[in-house]
Amino acid sequence: MNLVKSPLASQNPIQVKMQLEQSKRVFVIGDLDADLTKFEQALCSVNFNPSEDILFSLGDVIDRGEHSIALLARFKELGVHMCLGNHEHMLLESLLAKDKGYYRLWVENGGRWYLEATDEELAFACKQLLNCPLSYYVEYGALKIGLSHTTCADWDWQNPAQDIQQATGALLWDRSLTKAKKPLINPSIDFSVHGHNTTNQPYWLGNTYHLDTNYLSGKPTIVELNTLIKQFSSM
């Protein structure tokens, strides 16, 4: 399947750069699979303060659960910085590009909820998701940190590929890095954080951190960047 054959994904920026004050608490949360209750529990577990703290989502916010639209609305309310995930990508290709291949893949993997959603809800979802970048390049203190749904071993964070098909494959769908289980170091970033590849416990693989725990453990992972910085510095 051609991962991107419609113009839709090209409307999503491949990378957004952000420079954050180190005095701010910055959190990253993994795949949520449309579970609003678990999301709220995760926020409570770190005493998240939306007026002071910053939250990034690594995508796959929708599908499988019952709260796809409610979660997107909550993200908008909280000002969450959300990466596009492969499930959001399938939604856009299915609903806007009318891609039959993506549609079959989507409904077989948790997308059937859309059949009970209103046109207004689906329009809201599409509008919000079209604004999500494929990745964030975050300067936080002295470190440069990459955030995306997934990644490949040779992704260049300093000079990201501008070919949307290549970027979508690398940042939304790739599983080769975690399947190989080789602790490679990507020299273009200090470290990066990703979801997509399911695991019972978060783990480091080279200078990439993987935290998609919700599907296997039943609990999404939320982590503060300062915690990861301390772990990374001690490796």
Determine, yes or no, domain membership for 4: no
Query: 227 in the Ramachandran plot: left (φ > 0), alpha (ψ -120 to 50) or beta?
Result: alpha
pTM of the model: 0.95
Whether the CB-CB separation of 159 and 146 falls below 8 Å is answered with no
Sorted by sequence, the CB contacts under 8 Å of residue 83 that are 6+ apart come out as 56, 57, 58, 59, 132, 133, 134, 135, 136, 147, 148, 149, 171
Using alpha carbons, select from 29, 52, 28 the residue that is nearest to residue 39: 29
Sheet strands side by side (includes 26-29): 81-82, 54-57, 26-29, 222-224
Confidence of residue 169 (pLDDT cuts 50, 70, 90): very high
Angle at which helices 119-129 and 68-78 cross, to 10°: 50
- The CATH number assigned to the domain holding 39 equals 3.60.21.10
Pairing of strands 26-29, 54-57: parallel
Determine, yes or no, domain membership for 47: yes
3, pLDDT greater than 80: no
Determine, yes or no, domain membership for 18: no
Quick: pLDDT tens for 198-214: 999 999 999 999 999 99
Q: Which pLDDT belongs to residue 194? A: 98
Whether the CB-CB separation of 168 and 4 falls below 8 Å is answered with yes
2, pLDDT greater than 50: no
Q: Which pLDDT belongs to residue 151? A: 98
* Alpha-carbon gap, residue 222 to 29, rounded angstroms: 4
**What are the backbone angles phi and psi of residue 37, rounded to the nearest 5°?**
-60, -45
Q: Which pLDDT belongs to residue 7? A: 53
Determine, yes or no, domain membership for 43: yes
Determine, yes or no, domain membership for 96: yes
Q: Which pLDDT belongs to residue 1? A: 34
Q: Please state, as a whole number, how many other Cβ atoms lie within 10 Å of the Cβ of residue 131.
A: 12
Q: Please state, as a whole number, how many other Cβ atoms lie within 10 Å of the Cβ of residue 100.
A: 10
Q: Which pLDDT belongs to residue 68? A: 98
Quick: pLDDT tens for 8-59: 555 799 999 999 999 999 999 999 999 999 999 999 999 999 999 999 999 9
What is the arithmetic mean of pLDDT over 209-235? 97
Q: Which pLDDT belongs to residue 165? A: 87
- For residue 38, the surrounding DSSP H or E stretch is helix 36-45
Quick: pLDDT tens for 99-131: 899 999 999 999 999 999 999 999 999 999 999
Determine, yes or no, domain membership for 13: no
Q: Which pLDDT belongs to residue 4? A: 43
Determine, yes or no, domain membership for 102: yes
CA distances in angstroms from 151 to 12, 161, 175, 182, 190, listed in the order given = 17, 12, 8, 14, 14
Whether the CB-CB separation of 202 and 191 falls below 8 Å is answered with no
Q: Which pLDDT belongs to residue 8? A: 56
Quick: pLDDT tens for 66-78: 999 999 999 999 9
Structural domain count of the chain: 1
Domain housing 45: 24-234
Where do runs of H (alpha helix) occur along 46-189?
68-78, 86-95, 100-108, 119-129, 164-168, 176-180
Determine, yes or no, domain membership for 186: yes
Whether the CB-CB separation of 29 and 56 falls below 8 Å is answered with yes
Quick: pLDDT tens for 174-198: 999 999 998 999 999 999 999 999 9
